Structure 1
């Protein structure tokens, strides 16, 4: 369909100037357009054709272009446009199997539009409209309401006695399909300036041989409900008519029917009634409208509303109208919970939504909160309870009054495996750890290193929360961090693991921590941190952002990877004004008796680099006002000092190689210069040249006169004398080394204090010089001293043996 607006034209009739608007469009084949008046009393008319015949309404058919003229400037306020199409069905098929909302509706954008499909079935069949084949279902609304998207659908049925409105519907609901007997219509109403969605499509097919005006099919999931209206609601239901609703349920579902609004007419013949067909055993059950409606169970069922022949002799007979509500539910779920299987655990179930219809029972008693104590077996039941209606938590207490009564080994903290009959999974599990007086709680992570969650950051998996007995939160922790162990002194500690949204509880698969109740430590908190190379992490004081308790202390034992260094930056530091003592931030490396870094509250904290594993200690004062809280950023990277040393060594090696190559080149060049040819005259007529590749000297000097020279080179004079020095008496061979007698026992002599050399003497170290953290890993200083001294003794003895062997005279004398 083509639609074209023509600029306004003005018609002069006497002294009256009338403003008009002209449009041109082409109807599609099989489509008619009805332009009708909706504003009564308006003088505006619609005209068409060459004769320009003007009427109150206009019905256009065919596929030829048509000019339409309105005798007013704003016809959209007076007229509405209805696009009509026909679908006819035989006993087997329909001439159009899809009803699609297309662009024709959008072409009349300024008008109130209606797109109508007229449906016609054979005499013994109905026409079925399927809503969910190409989209979602429908829901019924009262006639006075409109859909949120301003696109309202209406289903009508036609009989000889007149037309009945089956209902108004919006998108998104539980209604799957609708069938109308013999004839009917399905239409879409759109107000001005609202675009329609052209993807809306509905399947059309031949329906059943129904006995009612219409049949609506619904599918109700568990825990849902639908409100339905009788035809023409709130007006009269047609005389002697029937309306059927068909509900699709599973075998486990139940359906409760409730009549919300009922108006019964005075009957002349027959009686109003409601029939239930199907459900339990497929039998038919009839009830009066004023009776309590039975609970439907065991699958699908039909609800059929029947009207009587109304006594019209009485004035103002109300007729039959009904508003009903159908709610699906499940039968009670029985669940036996045996807490004997889980040592020390108790179970809590609590309703979250008071508005829900969830009903919990323990031993047949309805309760809002249920507790199954440790070691008990309880019978629970749940009615209409969805996973979001109930929260399920488990608790266990682990403690001892004296250290001798505490568990000797670590206790794994793992959640119990609860039965599947519970309506919800385990949401959280809490372990209450209660050490004896002056005892310590030690937690070693079994799910990998942890990181502290700061600034509201959410964990991707479960969240671990540590809380002290005074209610103070030590911190929230997530997996995938660097903290491997936590120690808390002289405090009861609660370890709570809560699952993140949509995630399973991490502790349901394995233990979260290995817990120990051990002897006291001098620090209040100790964290063991094992960072990775090329990583950064944040270390926050306990309870951050709240300040630490007065005089509280905390230490982090930071174990650096080999060949790395750590950069510490205090990115968030809150210092109090102290009434007594001072706050302190200290850094001290292992095996060091002195601190590498120390700052009080009246000193400015700056960055520091540490080149080996270290302790980070913090302590609070008695604040007069303010709080002491710190966030330390720890960055791990390769040791720059080692990189510089390696670079220097590499440079020296390259320089040494270059010098060695140069020296070898110079020596070789000098050898070539000295390796010149020497001519020797021999009286016997034999000429030769010294050097490789020539005939050389004779093998025996006594057999020739090679020692007789006519002329002698200076460079040969002393060479001959050295080779034959003994015969000529010029030089006598002797060993240039003169043996020296040395007493080997002097190597094992004692010093002036009679202390044996090479024997390690352990010196006592004052306790005041040790690192401030108690229970530190044992110092390696002694081991290093042992290595230096005792690893050198075999070399020293071997050197002495070689010296003695060389000092012994050759030949034994």
Structure 2
């Protein structure tokens, strides 16, 4: 005895399948009990008792569980499939769903993505779940097909009324396909359409079989069925007719029609050659005639074969000739047509290990849809024994069908080591937002954990970059085939206390942009970066902090410190809770350090702009000797009788002071205005004095103009006293510089000292200067006269307002 509770709109039908042994099935108990030997139907959705009179009723009876689905013109109600059922688990069960729609419409069955596979009616499915789809025609029921889980059939449309059945054997756990039922389109046709079967053919090589309704029995007269095939891109399909029978037609003909995307319909007979090696989606319609029913009818079994249309590009990659070099190929899109394989195995990403060979295949993969990258590992176990490495992109196998996108070098160093990166062309330039490099090759430097040091190109102001960590350098280029020679030189040196150190020589023509690592994001916690900036002699640097972001520190503080090289005095020292200077004017080479705290929130970073300008200190420019001359600067050329012009002078520190009224300068050429100036270019006036000075090397290109006027040698003081000559202070030597974080000495070469000859002695006299007694300017080269005008100047009266 079993207790059964049917679901609403569900019929339970118990059907006898064997005559032996004798057995009776009864429903309910007492006076209302109903018994039957052959058949019993339970329709009431209540708790009902079922009793069998034999001990093994599952061997005698099968159970059908039927649901009726009534659809309106637009939808079908209720959950169609019950994924779990506890009814009669020990019996062979058949679950059936009956659908009914408006007579002018079709019902549509949509299967999940795994789809369904059509099989012959007598075959069974591997999981013992076998589906059958039946449509009811006026001439009687027609079996559209029998199906199993997993196949190319995704949708079936049938007219008016139909049934889906699922057979599950005894003791098998119910696991049905959760198909959906909807109301399909109207069916207006001269011929009655038995069904439309939609098929998504698989990628790659495949053979899929299809059969007509009622196969191997006759297809209904004056009926047609349609298959809509979706063919993968870059695939060819071929249709081959196998077993088939041709009826004797009383009217009309049996035809097979092919339609491709609205183009002209191709009509063929069952014996004509069918389409071969064609591409694109297509519809196939089989149409029957009115047949002589006394003879064999129409039946057809056919196969659709699919294969790749392209030819694979084969390439054997040999990395045994490149030490430490590996190769990677990956797809950039999800296009299923692109197929990559390595050693005959299809993969989404290909990896060829260093020191190996591999056979690669690329099928239907446009070069823009795949990316080729390569990398090289360079390891240094001991800094003292490691030699410098030249980072050059090796030439890969020419059979690779796509260009190289990027090449990476992974530099591994010991804990007490540092990587020194230097450009073979001389210098590097940092590439930051707003100041991006526009060059064929770009270098991205990152630490081992992926933290970005920065992007760089060539011909900039960075002489050397030192990183105290394992680093990776990734080069990207528009076309690596046009890139020749090394891109970087990598040396290995001893440990530095900072994380990163830059050696910078700013240019004269444009500002130098410096940014903290990982800009515009923040620096790594507890990391330190330093810039050692070399400022040419007689120049000064204008440092502007254009953009500074400060965090809220959890531990310690951030620090921004600027020092002149060789001096302990700090020109600027700020932490996160102090406002930094907007700009600094620094008269010589300097050191800039930035250290991060352990942030609680926010990021620490800075964007710095450095400009180099001429240091307009004429005493300093002229070797900072005792200055015993004065200069006149006249502006706004006026008439000689302009009474508003006043006498002026420039005071220059020393023991001798000259004024316009001292009568040391007398005016000549009273009738000639050639000596009256709107302005005086001091460089043109005094530039020749620097020809043999230490400053000349850096300024020689500025003072090559023609000397127009000259100034005869001044006779000097008449009191007979020798002017006191003050020796210039030595500039701080580079080898004396010790930063508070002690950056690597490799960044700080000692500054060469100028040897002291006897010319520097106070007792030394140059015969050329004895007569004029002017011992102001000292030089190790030839001493030039001071030339201010083109004519010899005679003694002249004092300069007064009237004379001007």
TM-score range, shorter chain: 0.3 to 0.5
Q: Which has the larger radius of gyration?
A: 1
* Greater helix share, structure number: 1
TM-score by length of 2: 0.44
